[in-house]
Amino acid sequence: MLVLANGDSLRGSASVAAVVDYSFHGLAGPTISLLAEGQLPVADGELYLASAVVVVKSVVIVNTHTSAVTINLTILKAASTARRLVPKNLSLPPGYMAVFDGSRFSVFDTSGNLMTLISNVTGLSGLLADDQHVLDAEVLAYILSLTGAAANKKLFVNAAGNGVEWASGIKIGTFTRDMTAATGSVSYTGVGFKPSVIIFMGGISTTVIATFNGFDNATSHYSSGSFSGLVAGAAFVDAGSSIILYETNTKLQAAFVSSMDADGFTLSWSKGGIPAAGTATMFYLAFR
């Protein structure tokens, strides 16, 4: 409950005028009364002014509009500063009702089901789900419409970390590496997202220069493949590079992912010896 002294008041506002009903119920002296009723104005205004000590047992707010309306409700102690009674800029869906008894704030949908507030959803200051935290079909459809759902896409947290977005989360791409290129870092873009894991493979056609099964997450760098073009029946495994292009044991190009970037990745390349001229074609499969 709320206790108002003489001169204290309840104030409120809505983003759309004359569509949000309000009513205050409580005790004026010994009498149980409807203390005030009306519709919230756009500009913050006085809704009820106590002329004596009054106990407000409940505040009922109903959005009668056809779309969501943002509401604010405050209490103003005489000669003081207005303080909020409900969440700031609360978005109340059409037909929904909010009830505040001074300690518990509850929201009900158009069927009278008790709802609870879920935050951090793109485009919403608050989304309402049932009290058991299970999204019904109507609420799920609402989420999907707000986040731009698309067939055969996955839901990801966006790069800013403040919302969600739908994307495939997978990218197949290719790049080349000159076998005579110097040691150094090279950035590759065009992936469309910051990868979490990348698979590499490739080589030079018609030669024994090849690498297979390279895996990298910018922390672990693994590769394995056939070495039989150089040593009959041999294979190689490596836990320091996800790309190894062998010409011989000592003439090679090797790389690992030094960073996952906003639109791709950076490879740290090392040239071993003096490989013969040639350009390797690499393929990658990047996962968000």
Residues 175 and 276 in one domain: yes
Backbone angles phi, psi at 38, to 5 degrees: 165, -155
Residues 99 and 200 in one domain: no
What DSSP element (H or E) covers 34?
Answer: strand 31-39
Backbone angles phi, psi at 45, to 5 degrees: -145, 165
Please check whether residue 24 is in contact with residue 33, taking contact to mean a CB–CB distance below 8 angstroms.
no
Please check whether residue 70 is in contact with residue 47, taking contact to mean a CB–CB distance below 8 angstroms.
no
How many CB atoms are located within 10 Å of the residue 174 CB? 10
Q: What is the pLDDT of residues 154-200, one digit of tens each?
A: 888 888 887 778 889 999 999 999 999 999 999 999 999 999 999 99
Short-list 53, 57, 49, CA closest to 2:
57
Residues 108 and 177 in one domain: no
In a domain, 163, yes or no: no
Residues 198 and 103 in one domain: no
β-pair partners for 210:
203
> Residue 205 — very low, low, confident or very high, per pLDDT cuts 50/70/90?
confident
Q: What is the mean pLDDT of residues 217-246?
A: 82
CA pair distance 16, 265, nearest whole angstrom:
48
In a domain, 225, yes or no: yes
In a domain, 122, yes or no: no
Backbone angles phi, psi at 7, to 5 degrees: 95, -10
Residues 107 and 179 in one domain: no
Based on the structure, what is the number of domains in the chain?
2
Q: Which residues contact 130 (CB under 8 A, 6 or more apart)?
A: 113, 114, 115, 116, 136
Higher pLDDT, 85 or 285: 285
SS3 72: strand
Q: Where are the alpha helices (DSSP H) in the chain?
A: 137-146
> Residue 261 — very low, low, confident or very high, per pLDDT cuts 50/70/90?
very high
User: What pLDDT shows up at residue 248?
Assistant: 80
Final residue of a structural domain among 112, 144, 162: 112
CA pair distance 241, 256, nearest whole angstrom:
5
Q: What is the pLDDT of residues 111-124, one digit of tens each?
A: 888 875 444 444 44
pTM: 0.52
In a domain, 73, yes or no: yes
Pairing of strands 154-157, 127-130: unpaired
User: Could you tell me the two tokens for 11?
Assistant: 């104030």
In a domain, 140, yes or no: no
Residues 27 and 100 in one domain: yes
Q: What is the mean pLDDT of residues 38-56?
A: 95
Residues 180 and 92 in one domain: no
Q: What is the pLDDT of residues 67-112, one digit of tens each?
A: 999 999 999 998 889 999 888 999 999 999 999 887 788 889 888 8
Within the chain, what is the greatest distance between any pair of CA atoms? 100
In a domain, 99, yes or no: yes
Measured CA to CA in angstroms, residue 39 lies from 15, 47, 78, 136, 229 at distances of: 12, 9, 23, 30, 83
Instruction: List, as one string, the DSSP characters of 20-63.
Output: EEEEEEEEETTEEEEEEEEE--SS-EEEEE-SS-EEEEEEEEEE
In a domain, 129, yes or no: no
> Residue 204 — very low, low, confident or very high, per pLDDT cuts 50/70/90?
confident
Q: pLDDT at residue 127 above 90? A: no
CA pair distance 97, 73, nearest whole angstrom:
14
Final residue of a structural domain among 92, 112, 132: 112
Q: What is the mean pLDDT of residues 242-253?
A: 87
Residues 91 and 199 in one domain: no
Q: What is the mean pLDDT of residues 128-155?
A: 61
In a domain, 165, yes or no: no
Q: Which domain holds residue 35?
A: 2-112
Final residue of a structural domain among 79, 112, 145: 112
